[in-house]
Amino acid sequence: MGEEIESSAFTDEDFAEFDRHLKIETALLENWFQAERFYAGAHEGGLELEAWLVDPEGHPAPRNKEFLSALNNPLVVPELSKFNIEFNTAPQALNANALSQMETDLQHTWDLASARADSLGLGIVMIGILPAIRESDLTMANMSGWQRYKALNEQIFAMREGKPINLKIEGREKLATTHYDVMLEAGATSFQVHLKVNQRSAARYYNASKLVSGPLVAVAANSPYLFGRDLWDETRIPLFEQAISVDEWDYAERVTFGVRYLDKCLSEVFVANRQRYPALLPRNSEDAPEKLAHLKLHNGTIWRWNRALLGNEPDGTPHLRIEHRTLPAGPTIQDCMANAAFYFGLVEMLAHEVEPPEHDIPFRHCRNNFYACAKTGLQADLVWRGGKRVKARALILEELVPLAREGLTRLEISPDDIERYLGIIEARARTGRTGANWQRAWVETHSRDMSELTLAYQDRQNCGLPVHEWSVT
């Protein structure tokens, strides 16, 4: 989905031709897996951070084209809406001071962007859902002017046979509204963590990513409000799932936690893509099958919360990545890096346990854990190993932080980085002060003025302290 397309208009012949290419490329990819063609070097990590452009009142500012032109930085790119942008980092081998280097790189780009935004009378905010967002902001008039986004909207509603999206979320309060385009998706912004893995262990890392999704969301939650309603701790989860729903049963929804663990190989994801998901953007390419152009484009229109990705090394060797998509943006870059460190350490350990933990935690529990944590955060009741029932907060403090520390040590991450980042996770869990908790505490102390909440959040974000140190006064 990152590549531009020439037109949003497609014919039946385009779909048929795309499926023909997809069949060939999927078979070719399976052969590559059987021949173990993939990169087998050290694991690497990378990051994507989505953010909001805001005006002085904290409302979305639909000016990303002007902003990106003025910034002129290839690491900062457009998103679906005119008020969203995305920051990227170069991949780092996961060892030594990789985590602090990624933070330094991301912070440097953020600082450059913030200075440029300020010169244009704008601010930048990293948060799962901007409190000040209004339904009137989420219209086609505010869609970024790239053909791929127009095509996405047209094809989603073609699959829905023109039926509007009926957004329904029940949390602390209820929200029900009807929308006639995909712009609801622009209300949810994420911090996405990439992990380059070896083929032989890729399925284990993928399953581990699913297992840790719930606890990660619980300790990182930063999206309690939507259109002024207090909903889930991580309301971004149901918002994104419903925003581009094709109105089918869960087995074929485009945003999904999935229906099972992998059995043996990451190739199962790409086989399922072709079997279960009709093409959404059938842009046909004349590239050789080895480029996997159609397969990659198709995969980019399926937004699993843990997504398998394909890439290439500088010498052309194909590689495998896992994109962990469950985390919200913010509250600060320090918090984002702590979340990434927690993820990297946990999956490193779980993927190397002699007895795979996914054999002990049925997928239904893994899935239920994810949605429970999205809904109630650190207070969620989880089912863990051996059927043990435990609060998310206790599981994080008593088992998962020590496990992540061991995993980062296994990766030979700097001891200073380990203590710094996992210390943030530990403090957040111990105090209960997530981004979602802070937003609710501010509202309780002040008022439910979403513009004022956004500005108060932005002020504290700009100070740089991790969220567990933020005051509400």
Between vectors from CA 363 to CA 362 and to CA 366, what angle results, nearest 5°?
95
Phi-psi region of 36 (alpha: psi -120 to 50; beta: other; left: phi over 0): left
Q: Is the pLDDT of residue 1 over 60?
A: no
Confidence of residue 3 (pLDDT cuts 50, 70, 90): low
| Lowest mean per-residue pLDDT among 16-25, 160-169, 225-234 | 160-169
Helices of type H across 377-467: 392-395, 401-410, 415-431, 435-445, 450-463
Confidence (pLDDT) at 2: 55
The β-bridge relationship of strands 303-304 and 255-256 is parallel
Q: Is the pLDDT of residue 470 over 70?
A: yes
Residue-wise pLDDT tens digits, 160-198: 889 999 999 999 999 999 999 999 999 999 999 999 999
Confidence (pLDDT) at 246: 83
The β-bridge relationship of strands 381-383 and 389-391 is antiparallel
pTM over 0.85: yes
Residue 9: which of 397, 282, 346, 297 has the closest Cα? 282
Q: Which domains does the chain have, with CATH numbers?
A: 12-466 (3.30.590.20)
Residue-wise pLDDT tens digits, 29-62: 999 999 999 999 999 999 999 999 999 999 999 9
Residue-wise pLDDT tens digits, 58-86: 999 999 999 999 999 999 999 999 999 99
Q: Which distant-in-sequence residues (6+ apart) come within 8 Å of 55 by Cβ? A: 61, 121, 122, 123
Cβ atoms of 236 and 190 within 8 Å: the answer is yes
Cβ atoms of 308 and 321 within 8 Å: the answer is yes
Average of per-residue pLDDT across 272-297: 95
Q: Is the pLDDT of residue 214 over 80?
A: yes
